[in-house]
Structure 1
Amino acid sequence: MKLKLNIWLTLCLFVFSTIFILVVFNITYSSLEEELVLRAKDKLNAVNILKRRLIELHLRDKKQEADHILSNADLHGVNEADLVENLQSISEIKRIELLHEFDPNQVRFVASLDVDSTYYNFLFTSEKRQVRLVFGLQDIQDILLERTGLGVTGESYVVNERHRLMSASLFHPQEYPTNISSPSHGVLSAIGGKEDVTIYTDYRDVGVMGAFRPVDFYGIKMALLTEIDLDELMRPIYSIREKMVIVVGILMAVSLAISVFLGKILSNPIVQLRRVADQLSLGTLPSDIRPSGPVLEMQQITQSMDKLIRSLKQIASFASDIGEGKMESTYVMLSSHDELGKAILQMRDQLVTLNNEKNALELNSKRILIEAQEKDRERISRDLHDGLGALLTTLKLRMEKSGVMDESADIRDLIERTISETRSLARNLMPAVLRDFGLSEALEQLISDIEDSTQIKVLFFNELENSNYKLEKDKQVYIYRVVQEAINNAIKHAQCDEIQLSITVFDDHLALYIKDNGIGFEVGQKDGFTGLGLRNIEERVRLMGGVFYIESEETGTGIEIEIPIS
C-alpha cells in the first residue's frame, strides 16, 4: 500500500500512542481491580474471623454459665426443681433434660448440633446426674446478622455438616434455614477443615466472593461463611472502567490530533526536500530553503540541501558569465574535492585560451588587412603623385608653351583643379609627409588642410615632438588614421566650430584626446557611435593594444585613447 509520508507518520504515531494508552489503561485497570479484590478479601476475611471468635466466645460463655450452675448444684445438693429453675435463667435455652440413666464415666461435656433444626445441644455428665441443655441459635443469628461494612448483598451464615443452613438467609428470610441446601465450594472446604477467601457460586447459584472457615466447639462442627455478590463488589471498578474508557477515548482523540499535527511537522521538511529534488532533476534551481521542523537531523539535511542549491546557483551564474564572455568572472571552489568546480574552471581556462587565440587571430587578420590597405593606399598615392600628377603637370607646361592656356582661362582652371584634387587625394590616401617626416608633421599638415578647407579651428597640443620616444611606423599610421577619422566624424556630424587635439606621452603609454564643441549624441544609440568611422577607430586602437573611451554631451563629444608604449 502506497501512502503519503504524513499519513504513514500519523498512522505510526497514532498506533504507538494507542498501544501505549491501552497498555497503561490495562495496567491501571488491572491494578485497581487487584487492589479492590485484595481489600475486599481482607475485609471479608476480617469479618469472618471476627464472627467466628464471637460465635466461639458465645458458646463458651453458655458452657461456662451452665457448668457453673451444675457445679454449684452438685456441691450444695440442690434439688432438681431448683436446678431446672436455675438453668432456665440462661438465655436462649429451649429445653432441659435431666437424664437418670447414664454412664458416669462418659465425657463430662459434649456439644452437638441438631441437624434437623436450628438448635444445638450441651450434654453435661457428672457422678450424680446427666443434663442435656438445648439452645436456640438466636444469639448466634444476631451475631451473623450484624452486616456493617458488607454492603447490600453481604451476609454471614453457618452451615451444618449436612450442608444445611443453620441461620436465616438474607435472601430467603421466610424460608426455614435447614430447608436451604448449600453444597458450595466454600461450605465443602470449610467442613473439610479449610479456610480461605476466594470466588465461587453460593447456594443461590450466584457468583460471590466469600471467606470461609470451620467452627468446631466440643463436637459442634459448622461452616462459617461471609460472602458478598461479585456484581456489587465489582460495581465500583466497573464504574471506574467506564470512566476510564471515556478518558481513553478522549486521549485517543487527542492522540490522533497530535499525531496528525506531528505527522505534518515531521513530513513537511521531507516533502519540501522532495519538491526541491524534483526541481533539481528537471534542471530548475529552486529558491533558497530554510531549515524547518523540530528534528535536528532534518534541519541538518535541509541546511546541506540549501548549501547544494547555493553552490549550484553559484556554478550556474559562473557558467552564465562564461557563456556571455565574461571570462574575468571568478568562482570560489567549495572544497578541495569540488570536482564540478574544477571542471568549470578548466572549461573557463580553455575558453579563455581559445578566446585569446581567436582574438589574436582576428587582430592579426585585421592587422594584415589594414597593413595591406595602407600599402595599397601608399601605392595608389604614389601612383597618383608620380604618375597622374606628373602627367597633369607636364600637360599644363605644354599647354602653357603652346599658348592654349592663355586663350582659355576655363581650361587653365580645370587643369589646376585637377592637379590640386589629385595631390589632395594622394595625401589622403597616404600623405608623403607622414612617410618622410613622421607623425607630428603629418598631423600638422592634416590640421592645416582642415583649417584651409573648413571654418573649423583645430587646437593642437603635441607633446610627441618634444619627447625622445620614437613610434613604430605602423603605429604612426594607425594614430594618424584614428585622428583623421575622429576629426572627419566631428566635421560631418558634430556641427562644431572648434576641435581640440592633444597627444601626451607618459612613461608606459601615449594618451590621445580629441574633443569638439558640437551638439553631441546619445552614446550607444546614435549611428555616430555604431557607424563605420568609430568602428574603424576602435579596431585600430585594439590593434595597437590600447583602450578606447567616448563620452558625449550636449556641449560636445570627447574621445580618449590610451596606447601602450615600450
Structure 2
Amino acid sequence: MRNLNIFARLFISHTGMGLTVVIILSVIVYLFLRNTLIQRTVDQLSAINVLEKDLIQIHLAQLKGELEGLREQAILHRFFQPANTQEANEEFGDLLGFHGFESLWIYDAGGNLIFSTDSTLHDYLSMALTGQTGARDSVRLVDATPFAPGHQTTLLFFMPVVGDVGMEGTLIARLAFERIQTILLEETGMGITGESYIVGDDFRMRSRSRFFPERVPYDVEADRESVTRAIRASGDPAHIVRDYRGVEVLSAYNVLRIGDVNWVILSEMDLDEAMKPVRGLRNSLIGATFLLMIVAVMISYGLSTAISKPVLAVRDLMTSLSHGIIPRKRATAYPNNEIGQMGEAINQLIEAFERSVRFANAIGSGQFDTPYEKLSDYDSLGTALINMRDRLKQLNENEIRLAKSRTAALLEGQELERRRITLDLHDGVGQLLTAIRMRVELVEGNEDRKKEIKALINETIAEVRRISYNVMPQALVDYGLKAALEGLCDTIRKYSGVRVDFNYVETGEVQPDFEVSIAIFRIAQEAMNNVLKHAGATQVDLHLALSPEQVYLIVADNGKGFNPGDLKKDEAGYGLRNMKERARLLNGDFDVNSTPGQGTVIEVTIPLQPGNAV
C-alpha cells in the first residue's frame, strides 16, 4: 500500500467500501423480504387459526345449547321413571342422531347406568361420576381421549338432570369429532404443506395428521416447547419451530379452553414452501448484487479519478514551484471541499510568485512606487521584498538628490560664470567701445569716414549688449521674470523677423524666486533658439501663467514639427534634455507634443514650494 499512488489507494478503499455496502444492503434487503414474507405468512396462518378456533367454539356452543335444550324436554325425565323407560328408549334413540351426538349414557343419581348406546367407556364414566363436582345445573366438557378404546379422540358433555324432586341423574353425550376434523381439514390458504391440528395438554395430538392419516392422533406427540408456550401463554410466540415430524415450519396457535378441555389449535406451513418466493427473489437479488458491485466499481473509479486528479495536478504544480518554475496552468479550485481549497491555496501561491516576479522586475526598472500586497501579516517573502523596495527607493532618492545637487551646482556655476562674463562685457568691452566712440568724435578728418566708424562701433556695442543679454539678462535681475521674457521676445522679433506673441497671466500677488525665474527663462530661451534653428516657424506663442501654487509655461510654434521618437542626440535633442533637466531639478513636469507638419508645443509646470516664492 505504501508504494501505491493516491489513485490506487482511493480506488481500492472506495471499491472495498462500495462492495461491502452493496453486500450488506443486499443481505439486509434479503432478510427484510424474508422476514416480511414470514410475517405475512404467519399473519395468514393466524387468521386461519383464529377462524377455525371460532368455528370450533361455535360448534361446541351449539351442541351445548342443544344438550341443554334436551334437559327441558319431558322425554329425558321419563328415563328416571321405571314405567316409562322403554318408551323413552325408543324416542330418545331418534333424537340422538338428530342432535349430532355419537354416543349417549344416562346415569341415575346413584351412579347406576339407566341408558347407554356404547358400553366401552362405562368404567371411566362411573369413576368420573364419582369424582364429579360443580354446580348441579352446569354442563361440563371433558376430554376422555386417554381413556377411550384405541385412544380415539373423545369429547364428552356431562350434564346433570334436575327434576321437581331434585337431582335425578346425569346425561353424558359423546360428540361426533368428525365435524371438528372437517373444520381443521379446510386447506384454503394453507398451501401444499399447510395444516391445522389440535394438541392436548399432554402434548399428544387430538386431530388427524395430514401427513400421517393412517395413524391414531393420540399416538403422535407434538412439539413440547411450542405447546407449552401456548398453554402457559409465556413469552413471545416462536414463528419458526419444528413440528411433530421434525421439520421447520411457520406456526401460529391459539388456546382452546372449554370446560375441562385444555387444547391448543396450531396452524402450520413448511418453511421451505413459505420461502419459495424468497428463494426465487434471492437468486434475482444475487444477480442484482453483482450488477450493483460492477456499478460500485465504476463509481469508485470515477470518484477516485475525480478526487485524485486535482491532487495530482496540485502535486505537479508544487513540483514545478520547487524547481523555480512558475506554471502557467492553474489548479481547479472548488471552495466547498478541502482539495479545492488546496488548489485555491496553490493558485494564490502561484499568483504571489508572479506578483513577486513582476514586483522585482518593476523595482529593477526603477519603478519604486509599484505597490505590493502581502499574502498575510506573516508573509516573510513579501515583507523582504517590500523592505528591499524601500531601501532601493531610498538609495535611488539619495542618488537623485545627489544628481540634482550636482546638476544644480553645475547650473549655478554656469549662471555665475555667465554673470561674470556679462559684467566683463559690460564693464570692460562696453566701456572700451564707448571710449573709442568718444575718441572718434574728437578726431578731425573725413566726416563720412567718421560716421561709418561710429556706425560700426554702435553695432558692436549693440551686439555686445545682445550677447550680454543672452548670457545673463539684467532685466531678470533688476525687474523680474516678466520683464526678462518680454526682452527675450523683443530680441527675437528684432533679429529674426519671427512674429512672437507674449501672454502673461498672474493670479495673486506672488513672484517666484530667482532659481525658478532663471529656470523658466532658460527653458523659454532654449525653446526660442530651437524654433529659430530647427522649426522654420513664422509664429511663436509664449504664455506664462503664475499662481501661488505653480508656474505654467507654454511655447508653441507653427513650424514643421518632428517625431519625438526619432529625435537623436543632436543639438535640438540636447536642448530638450537641458530643458527637461531644469524642470526636473525643481520637481516640475516637462512635456513635448509635436507632430510632423503641425508644429510643436512645449509645456512646463513647476510647483511653487514655500521656499520658491517671494
Whether TM exceeds 0.5 here: the answer is: yes
Partner of 1:228: 268
2:190 maps to 1:184: no
| Cα distance in 1 between the residues matched to 2:198 and 2:244 | 12
The verdict on how the C-alpha distance between 1:144 and 1:41 changes in structure 2, with shifts beyond 3 A counting, is closer
- Which residue identity does 1:357 align to in structure 2? N
Cα pair 1:511 1:561 within 8 Å, conserved? yes
1:77 equivalent among 72, 75, 83: 83
State the 1:306 CA deviation: 10
2:419 maps to 1:362: no
| Cα distance in 1 between the residues matched to 2:185 and 2:242 | 21
2:556 maps to 1:556: no
- Matching of residues 298-337 of structure 1 within 5 Å: none
- Encode CA deviations 1:484-505: one digit per residue, 9 max, x unaligned: 4323322332122343445565
- Which residue identity does 2:411 align to in structure 1? I
Partner of 2:52: 47
Cα pair 1:451 1:457 within 8 Å, conserved? yes
2:150 aligned counterpart, secondary structure: coil
Cα pair 1:119 1:136 within 8 Å, conserved? no
Cα pair 1:25 1:244 within 8 Å, conserved? no
- Encode CA deviations 1:460-485: one digit per residue, 9 max, x unaligned: 63869xx9998877666655543443
2:563 maps to 1:522: yes
2:575 maps to 1:542: no
- Encode CA deviations 1:210-238: one digit per residue, 9 max, x unaligned: 537588988xx896643321438845994
- Which residue identity does 1:559 align to in structure 2? I
Cα pair 1:459 1:500 within 8 Å, conserved? yes
Partner of 2:165: none
- Encode CA deviations 1:356-391: one digit per residue, 9 max, x unaligned: 332221111112233445566777899999999999
Cα pair 2:562 2:594 within 8 Å, conserved? yes
Partner of 1:116: 150
2:42 maps to 1:37: yes
TM-score, normalisation: structure 1? 0.60
The verdict on how the C-alpha distance between 1:152 and 1:204 changes in structure 2, with shifts beyond 3 A counting, is same
Cα pair 2:334 2:341 within 8 Å, conserved? yes
Cα pair 2:102 2:175 within 8 Å, conserved? yes
- Encode CA deviations 1:59-87: one digit per residue, 9 max, x unaligned: 89679969987753441435769837853
The verdict on how the C-alpha distance between 1:120 and 1:525 changes in structure 2, with shifts beyond 3 A counting, is same
- Encode CA deviations 1:95-140: one digit per residue, 9 max, x unaligned: 94679x99998665898544427475989999x9999999864444
- Which residue identity does 2:52 align to in structure 1? V
Residues 50-59 or 435-444, more deviating: 435-444
2:210 equivalent among 151, 160, 170: 170
Cα pair 1:160 1:223 within 8 Å, conserved? yes
- Which residue identity does 2:574 align to in structure 1? L
Cα pair 1:514 1:559 within 8 Å, conserved? yes
Cα pair 1:97 1:132 within 8 Å, conserved? no
| Cα distance in 1 between the residues matched to 2:224 and 2:245 | 13
Partner of 2:110: none
The verdict on how the C-alpha distance between 1:522 and 1:288 changes in structure 2, with shifts beyond 3 A counting, is farther
How many aligned positions are there?
A: 528
| Cα distance in 1 between the residues matched to 2:414 and 2:589 | 23
State the 1:287 CA deviation: 8.9
| Cα distance in 2 between the residues matched to 1:525 and 1:212 | 118
Residues 477-486 or 321-330, more deviating: 321-330
- Which residue identity does 2:267 align to in structure 1? E
1:90 aligned counterpart, secondary structure: helix
State the 1:353 CA deviation: 4.4
- Encode CA deviations 1:7-43: one digit per residue, 9 max, x unaligned: 7899989988997998798678757755763664465
| Cα distance in 1 between the residues matched to 2:202 and 2:513 | 149
Residues 275-284 or 36-45, more deviating: 275-284
- Encode CA deviations 1:176-235: one digit per residue, 9 max, x unaligned: 342894222159957x976786554334443332537588988xx896643321438845
The verdict on how the C-alpha distance between 1:332 and 1:531 changes in structure 2, with shifts beyond 3 A counting, is same
| Cα distance in 2 between the residues matched to 1:330 and 1:228 | 91
State the 1:335 CA deviation: 11
- Matching of residues 240-255 of structure 1 within 5 Å: none
State the 1:526 CA deviation: 3.8
Partner of 1:399: none
The verdict on how the C-alpha distance between 1:432 and 1:85 changes in structure 2, with shifts beyond 3 A counting, is closer
Cα pair 1:378 1:429 within 8 Å, conserved? no
- Which residue identity does 1:227 align to in structure 2? S
TM-score, normalisation: structure 2? 0.56
- Which residue identity does 1:558 align to in structure 2? V
Cα pair 1:380 1:429 within 8 Å, conserved? no
| Cα distance in 1 between the residues matched to 2:199 and 2:482 | 151
Cα pair 1:513 1:559 within 8 Å, conserved? yes
Cα pair 2:368 2:393 within 8 Å, conserved? yes
- Which residue identity does 1:368 align to in structure 2? A
| Cα distance in 2 between the residues matched to 1:377 and 1:45 | 137
- Encode CA deviations 1:286-315: one digit per residue, 9 max, x unaligned: 99999865x9x9999999999999999999
Identity of aligned residues (%): 23
Partner of 1:459: 500
Residues 481-490 or 51-60, more deviating: 51-60
Cα pair 2:418 2:472 within 8 Å, conserved? no
The verdict on how the C-alpha distance between 1:135 and 1:10 changes in structure 2, with shifts beyond 3 A counting, is closer
| Cα distance in 1 between the residues matched to 2:571 and 2:500 | 23
- Encode CA deviations 1:291-345: one digit per residue, 9 max, x unaligned: 865x9x9999999999999999999988887666556677899999999998887
Give me the CA root mean square deviation.
7.2
- Encode CA deviations 1:146-175: one digit per residue, 9 max, x unaligned: 456655544344578998866544345xx5
List alignment gaps of at least 5 residues for structure 2: 104-115, 133-141, 162-167, 434-452
| Cα distance in 2 between the residues matched to 1:450 and 1:187 | 138
2:253 maps to 1:211: yes
- Matching of residues 463-502 of structure 1 within 5 Å: 478-479=519-520, 481-501=522-542
| Cα distance in 1 between the residues matched to 2:582 and 2:124 | 164
State the 1:533 CA deviation: 1.6
The verdict on how the C-alpha distance between 1:272 and 1:320 changes in structure 2, with shifts beyond 3 A counting, is farther
List alignment gaps of at least 5 residues for structure 1: 393-411
- Which residue identity does 1:485 align to in structure 2? E
The verdict on how the C-alpha distance between 1:433 and 1:231 changes in structure 2, with shifts beyond 3 A counting, is closer
| Cα distance in 1 between the residues matched to 2:311 and 2:51 | 67
Partner of 1:201: 242
- Matching of residues 393-432 of structure 1 within 5 Å: 430=471
Partner of 1:142: 182
| Cα distance in 2 between the residues matched to 1:251 and 1:242 | 14
| Cα distance in 2 between the residues matched to 1:165 and 1:440 | 143
State the 1:518 CA deviation: 0.7
Cα pair 1:490 1:496 within 8 Å, conserved? yes
The verdict on how the C-alpha distance between 1:18 and 1:539 changes in structure 2, with shifts beyond 3 A counting, is farther
| Cα distance in 2 between the residues matched to 1:509 and 1:134 | 140
